[in-house]
């Protein structure tokens, strides 16, 4: 994709601009050094599709906005930020080695997390060992929460919350049978385990339960088998390429259950572009849109202006909220990372998603949610007290 080169160029320009602010007076030079913030991101490989939608555009936009405003406020002194970023190539070992260098020998001031549950599962313990606050927008892992890493803070709703919310919505709409396909990795395994428990609690029968490997190219045989079982609902615990694959192949075989839910990527603008009018009524993971707050609308518009595309309606909002939390924390306590960790753990933050506070490293403010494409917007449809629209039931037929 064309994005990585563009990001490299913009990151280099940001770094040059930050370096240019060094003061000529020796006693001010340290205070005016840029704040060096390191991270890796998947610009190539299978994780790139999600990373280049949900995370890196937000990191770049935030750095540009912060520097345009004079920098982060550190004990009353404005300091520019310099992003030091690398392509981890969707390789966990590459990410771990790079973060170890950033925090160990390079001694960057702060770090930002990589994309995805598996990457975060590998890097978060390392960040904890080096004592770097790790505010993660795309780590969806109860196992990671249960590790109780003091420096780790997860913004996404965890599998138990997301899948319980989904099961609650299905039960409220008299769903009796469900078919499931899921990615055979940490994300898929944790979510499907939580989903099974949530469906069992609601006495919803699972008529099919199939895993598939990363990089799968054809799921039509599984989908045809599921179609023959005629479930009330289909649930795919999917990554972006698989989300598109399952949707397009379901349309091809005219598999159109009452509820059709696919996971990561459903809330991406790319999904709307690829699936077109057939997105209507499709459900998936999502928890915000530009309607949820005035700040969300301002962020949405700025993202479009900066990246030339809309943010996704799921983890993009969490990525931006995490950056807001970092900014508020630095303003309050400076760059002492232990003080930052304590401040994040003990305080509530104003973000585009609303108030956010953490309990045991977990976002305790935002419940599990279900989103649905309705016209040109991915609406929050469950739970009812957070919904931006009522759900469309049943899903309209594929066109």
Task: Kindly tell me the sign of the dihedral angle through the C-alpha atoms of 208, 313, 244, 376.
Answer: positive
Average pLDDT of the segment spanning 53-79? 95
Return the biggest CA–CA distance within the chain. 76
**H-only helix segments in the chain:** 3-19, 26-29, 48-54, 56-68, 92-103, 117-130, 142-146, 159-172, 186-201, 220-229, 240-252, 269-275, 294-307, 315-333, 337-346
pLDDT in tens, 70-84: 999 998 899 999 999
Q: Can you count the helices (H) and strands (E) in the chain?
A: 15, 18
pLDDT, the chain, mean: 92
- pLDDT bucket at 12, cuts 50 / 70 / 90: very low
CA dihedral 30, 134, 10, 298 (to 10 degrees): -110
Q: Give me the percent of the chain exceeding a pLDDT of 90.
A: 87
Is residue 365 pLDDT above 90, yes or no? yes
pLDDT in tens, 101-112: 999 999 999 999
The answer for 269, left when phi > 0, alpha when psi is -120 to 50, beta otherwise, is alpha
**pLDDT at residue 10, rounded to an integer:** 56
Long-range contacts of 139-143 (CB under 8 A, 24+ apart): 139/113, 140/187, 140/190, 140/191, 141/117, 141/186, 141/187, 141/190, 142/190, 142/194, 143/186, 143/190
**pLDDT at residue 75, rounded to an integer:** 82
Q: Which domains does the chain have, with CATH numbers?
A: 3-157+291-363 (3.40.50.2300), 159-286+369-386 (3.40.50.2300)
**pLDDT at residue 182, rounded to an integer:** 98
Residue 377 contacts by C-beta under 8 Å, 6 or more apart in sequence? Answer: 289, 291, 313, 388, 389
Residue 38 contacts by C-beta under 8 Å, 6 or more apart in sequence? Answer: 83, 84, 85, 99, 102, 103, 106, 108, 110, 111, 112
Is residue 68 pLDDT above 90, yes or no? yes
Average pLDDT of the segment spanning 116-120? 94
Number of other CB atoms surrounding residue 385 within 10 Å = 6
**pLDDT at residue 235, rounded to an integer:** 98
Is residue 62 pLDDT above 80, yes or no? yes
Place of tokens 């040109």: 376
Q: Does an H or E element contain 354, and which?
A: strand 354-356
β-bridge mates for residue 363, sequence order: 358
Place of tokens 């990363």: 214
**pLDDT at residue 31, rounded to an integer:** 58
**pLDDT at residue 120, rounded to an integer:** 97
Average pLDDT of the segment spanning 181-194? 94
Tokens found for residue 69: 């405003």
**pLDDT at residue 17, rounded to an integer:** 42
Query: What is the Cα–Cα distance from 62 to 328, expressed in whole angstroms?
Result: 13
**pLDDT at residue 109, rounded to an integer:** 98
Lay out the sheet containing 134-136: strands in order across: 134-136, 152-154, 362-363, 358-359
């Amino acid at each position: 994709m064309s994005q990585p080169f563009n990001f490299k160029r913009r990151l280099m320009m940001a770094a040059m601009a930050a370096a240019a602010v060094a003061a000529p007076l020796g006693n001010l030079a340290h205070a005016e050094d840029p704040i060096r913030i390191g991270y890796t991101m998947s610009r190539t490989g299978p994780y790139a599709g999600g990373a280049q939608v949900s995370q890196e555009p937000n990191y770049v936009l935030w750095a540009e906005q912060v520097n345009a405003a004079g920098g982060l406020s550190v004990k009353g002194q404005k300091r520019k930020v310099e992003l030091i970023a690398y392509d981890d190539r969707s390789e966990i070992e590459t990410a771990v080695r790079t973060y170890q260098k950033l925090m160990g020998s390079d001694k960057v001031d702060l770090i930002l997390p990589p994309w995805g549950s598996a990457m975060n599962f590998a890097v978060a313990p390392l960040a904890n060992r080096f004592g770097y606050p790790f505010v993660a927008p795309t780590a969806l892992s109860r196992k990671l929460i249960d590790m109780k890493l003091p420096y780790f803070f997860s913004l996404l709703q965890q599998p138990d919350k997301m899948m319980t919310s989904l099961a609650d919505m299905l039960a409220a709409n008299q769903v009796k049978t469900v078919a499931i396909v899921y990615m055979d990795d940490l994300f898929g395994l944790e979510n499907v385990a939580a989903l099974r428990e949530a469906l069992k609690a609601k006495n919803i029968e699972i008529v099919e339960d199939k895993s598939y490997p990363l990089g799968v190219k054809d799921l039509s045989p599984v989908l045809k088998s599921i179609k023959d079982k005629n479930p009330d609902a289909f649930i795919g615990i999917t990554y972006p390429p698989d989300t598109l694959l399952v949707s397009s192949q379901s349309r091809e075989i005219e598999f159109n259950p009452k509820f059709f839910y696919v996971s990561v990527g459903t809330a991406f603008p790319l999904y709307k572009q690829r699936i077109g009018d057939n997105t209507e009524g499709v459900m998936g993971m999502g928890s915000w849109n530009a309607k949820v707050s005035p700040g969300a609308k301002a962020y949405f518009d700025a993202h479009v202006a900066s990246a030339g595309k809309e943010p996704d309606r799921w983890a993009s909002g969490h990525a931006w909220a995490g950056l807001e939390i970092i900014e508020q924390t630095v303003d309050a306590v400076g760059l002492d990372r232990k003080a930052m960790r304590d401040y994040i753990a003990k305080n509530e933050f104003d973000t585009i998603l609303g108030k956010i506070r953490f309990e045991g490293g977990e976002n305790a403010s935002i419940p599990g949610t279900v989103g649905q494409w309705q016209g040109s917007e991915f609406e929050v449809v469950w739970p009812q007290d957070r919904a931006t629209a009522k759900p469309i039931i049943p899903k309209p037929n594929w066109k």
